[in-house]
Structure formats: structure tokens, C-alpha cells
Amino acid sequence: MKIKTIVTITVFSLLLFNCKDSNNNDTAAVELITVEEMDSLLELEKVQLVDVRTPQEYAEGHIEGAINIDFSDENFETLISEVDKSKPVAVYCGRGGRSGKCSAYMKKAGFTKIYDLDGGITEWKYKGKETVK
């Protein structure tokens, strides 16, 4: 009976400490934002803007001020590491798939605040917002 009690206490202790540690590692929250919220952030110049589409997609039109870091580039991790982790970052792609994956990577990499444009540049254009070439 004593061995079963010790094992039970040990298992619960490990679970408790593991849960506590994983919460401490959540250094960033990824916030899905609307076109209007993105527009406000850009007007306030409070974010670094990253377009994670291909260079060809970027050349066809992007949000003004965005830097292009292709999520599918073999050097993506090196390129994204050059973005300042201590400042807020807003990411977008075509519709939201790649930027979602990029946001998850950035969260694990230690970025402090990440915004992901819901619907990507497709939604941006649909709402009548301008792009530049």
C-alpha cells in the first residue's frame, strides 16, 4: 500500500510541475486580428510587419512597410531570427495558413508579442485596403 501511495504522489507531483513549467514557457501570445485592428497598429507604427508569402506573391502587391520573409524558404529560421523578438510583430500571408504556422514558430522562438492577420492579404484587399508593388 505504501508503494502505491508513493507512486501516486510522485506522478501527481510530476504532472503539477510539468504543467507549471509549460505555462512559464509561454512567453508570447498569438493574437488573431482583424483588418481594422491591423490598420490601427500600422497607423500607430507599433509593429514590425512581416509578409510570409513567396517573393512572387509579395511582388504582386503587399501591405506598405512589410518585409518579405518567405515561410517556405529553406533559410526561414535564420531570416526570421533577424526580426527583433522584443518588439511586437504582425504577420500575414495569402489567407492565414502560413502566417498561422509562422506565428506558432515565432512563439516557440521567444517572440514577445505576435499578431496574425485573420484572412491574410485576401481579407485586407476585400476590405478595400491598399497594397503596394
CATH code for the domain of 41: 3.40.250.10
Is residue 6 assigned to a domain? no
- β-pairing, 48-51 with 29-33? unpaired
Alpha carbons 59 and 47: distance in angstroms, whole number: 21
Q: Is residue 14 part of a domain?
A: no
Q: Which helix (H) or strand (E) element contains residue 67?
A: strand 67-68
Overall pTM > 0.85: no
* pLDDT band, very low/low/confident/very high, at 73 (cuts 50, 70, 90): very high
What backbone torsions phi and psi does residue 66 show, to the nearest 5 degrees?
A: -80, 140
89: enclosing H helix or E strand:
strand 89-92
Pairwise CA distance, residues 22 & 20, whole Å: 6
103 has a pLDDT exceeding 50 = yes
pLDDT at 31 over 50: yes
19 catalytic? Reply is no
Q: Indicate whether 3 belongs to any domain.
A: no
Number of structural domains the chain divides into: 1
Q: With respect to residue 106, please indicate whether it lies within any of the assigned structural domains.
A: yes
User: Considering the domain boundaries, does residue 97 fall inside one?
Assistant: yes
Query: Which pLDDT score, from 0 to 100, does residue 35 have?
Result: 96
Domain presence at residue 5: no
Judged against a pLDDT cut of 50, whether residue 20 lies above it is answered with no
Residue 98 lies in a domain: yes
Catalytic residue among 50, 52, 80, 93: 93
pLDDT band at 27, cuts 50/70/90?
low
